[in-house]
Homo-oligomer: A and B are copies of this chain.
Amino acid sequence: MSAQRIRDLSPNSQVEGRYLVLRKELRQGGRAGFFLDLTLCDSTGRVPAKVWENASAISERFQQGDVVEVTGVAETYRDELQLRLTNLRPLSPEEIDPTEFLPRSDKDLDALERRLADLVKSVGNTHLRELLLALFRDQDFRRSVCTAPAAKALHHSYIGGLLEHTVEVAELCEKVAELFPQLDRDLLLAGAILHDIGKLDELSWQTAFDYTDQGHLLGHLVLGDRRVRQEADGIEGFPEELKLLLSHLILSHHGVYEYGSPKLPMTAEAIALHHAEDLDAKVNLFLGQIGQARDQGRRWTERHFLLGRPLYVGPSDEAEASAPDAD
């Protein structure tokens, strides 16, 4: 069977493929009284799908979060692609890894991982470098850091998003440390690398991106601080003040109380990390929103529920707006 990626589907064609079921609802309607209303995804995108025939019976076979093998046709409905499925069978987790079907970073994750390793090595302070190396020595930890999303939604919410975000923030902090030599570069860099490490415990990303119980009840700031603290406590001679400053970096990195920082940044490194982190998250969010709207041929995005404003996409051909110098 020649499986099709969602990005490559075209209207009015036959479809065969394997997709993850993001959403599943049995709804009243259609000729048969019931139909199945689904959202399917793979790493290249998402598509709505309907099962009009035999919906109740088919519904019994699988659950949200399953990967399913389907056949059907692609139709256009209100200017968007939609699948009309005629057949659907679930695959077991043994047959297939659901994580592969989740949205995934466009970047070269191996290159990012190497870049992160270099950043770790560039930390001059013995204690901090030892701490970072100790954490990354653990294979599970490293694999988690390289696959986790950086958020359930909004920014970097895709497989590899945490790695991407971490490297970007660390690179920005490197630049900031270069501009302001008074800053403790090593401390700032260690903070940048570890600031979102609590996401590993806050989120789950096996068959969908969601919060864990401890994610909801404690949050990634406290969870990240716990991990780092525990590791540092195991390192002989790690100075108490350094532990304190590192914990402060992690616990204050949201910058304001409103976003769940129990403390406001009180050191120059903490304020730098907060702003670098915010810059990176917001630019990623904006580019994601704008890119999506551009793919839909729109000139403005919808008013974003959190940003409270639409974003400008611009004319399809932007060449004119910012033409590179001809000579």
Contact A282 B278 (CB under 8 A): no
Encode A214-255 as 1/0 by CB contact (under 8 A) with B. Answer: 101111011001100100000000010110110110010000
In the assembled complex, which residues on chain B have CB atoms less than 8 Å from the CB atom of A222?
222, 225, 247, 251, 262-263
Is A261 part of the binding interface, using a Cβ–Cβ cutoff of 8 Å? yes
- A118: min CB distance to chain B, Å: 15
**Residues of B close to A267: CB separation below 8 A:** 286, 290, 311-312
| Total copies of the chain | 6
Does A260 reach chain B (CB closer than 8 Å)? yes
**Contacting pair B322 A125 (CB below 8 A):** yes
The answer to whether B278 touches A283 (Cβ under 8 A) is no
A271 near B266 with CB under 8 A, answer no
Q: How large is the interface on A (under 10, 10 to 19, 20 to 34, 35 or more residues)?
A: 35 or more
CB distance from A119 to the nearest CB of B (A): 13
B213 and A312 form a contact (CB under 8 A): yes
Q: How far is the CA of A300 from the CA of B315 in the complex (A)?
A: 44
Whether, in the assembled complex, A146 has its beta carbon less than 8 Å from a beta carbon of chain B, the answer is: no
CB contacts (< 8 Å) of A258 on chain B: these are: 257-258
C-alpha spacing A239/B276, complex, angstroms: 32
Chain B residues positioned under 8 Å from A314 (CB to CB): 241
A305 within 8 A of B: no
Pairwise interchain contact A275-B271, C-beta atoms closer than 8 A: no
Contact flags A197-224 to B (C-beta < 8 A → 1, else 0): 0000000000000000110111101100
Residues of B within 8 A of A127 (CB): 323
Instruction: Tell whether A287 is near chain B: CB-to-CB under 8 Å.
Output: yes
Q: How far is the CB of A268 from chain B (nearest CB, A)?
A: 4
Contact at B171–A179, with CB atoms within 8 Å? yes
Chain B residues near A291: list those with CB within 8 A: 182
In the bound assembly, the distance between CA atoms of A6 and B68 in angstroms comes to: 38
Within 8 A of B (CB), among A274-327: 275-276, 278-280, 282-284, 286-287, 290-291, 299-300, 307-312, 314-315, 320-326
Q: Does A176 contact B (CB under 8 A)?
A: yes
Cβ of A292 to closest chain B Cβ, rounded Å = 13
Q: Within the complex, which residue of B128, B271, B310, B311 is in contact with A283, where a contact is CB–CB below 8 Å?
A: B271
A315: chain B residues within 8 A (beta carbon):
241
Which residue of the partner chain, among B168, B265, B320, contacts A241 with CB atoms under 8 Å?
Answer: B320
CB-based contact B312/A217 at 8 Å:
yes
Tell me the smallest distance from the CB of A74 to a CB of chain B, in Å.
Answer: 15
Which 4 A-B residue pairings sit nearest by Cβ, starting from the closest? A275-B279, A268-B286, A217-B248, A175-B175
Q: Can you list 21 A-B contacts with CB-CB less than 8 angstroms, sorted by A residue number?
A: A124-B324, A124-B325, A126-B325, A127-B323, A213-B241, A216-B310, A217-B245, A217-B312, A222-B225, A239-B323, A241-B314, A241-B315, A241-B320, A242-B321, A262-B262, A265-B286, A266-B312, A267-B286, A268-B287, A275-B278, A275-B283
